[in-house]
Amino acid sequence: PKITYVQPSGSSETFEIPIGNSVMQGAVNNNVSGVPAECGGAAACATCLVYVAPEWVSRLPARQLLEESMLDNDDPKYAQLRLSCQVKVTEELDGLVVEVTAL
């Protein structure tokens, strides 16, 4: 499945990410900047935070409680927030677009 990573500047890169990887791993393995993923995928650091493109929000599996607890309720784009380490790549996610956040 192809995943597109958009930078805050507007530039974007698209990569083929293996099924079963997380969206975060796909970014790290392809040297996408803005995804330091400091905790290595444990939902503990929030440095893998992304904004999911609006049309994709309802197409992703729901957040788990641990992920939910790391997200900022006050963010105006809260509905689009995900920890990319908690989103597993599946065939259904082909074409997913996420914007990395500038931390």
CB neighbourhood size of 48 (10 A):
30
Nearest to 89 by CA among 25, 33, 35: 25
C-beta closer to ligand FES: residue 43 or 97: 43
CB of 22 to ligand FES, least distance (A): 8
Distance CA 61, CA 76 (A): 21
The answer to whether the beta carbons of residues 26 and 17 sit under 8 Å apart is yes
C-beta closer to ligand FES: residue 6 or 101: 101
Residue 24 lies near ligand FES (rule: CB under 6 A): yes
Residue 79 lies near ligand FES (rule: CB under 6 A): no
CB of 67 to ligand FES, least distance (A): 8
Residue 7 lies near ligand FES (rule: CB under 6 A): no
- CA 59, 64, 67, 68 torsion: positive or negative? positive
What residues numbered 27-66 form the site for ligand FES, per CB under 6 A?
A: 37-39, 41-48
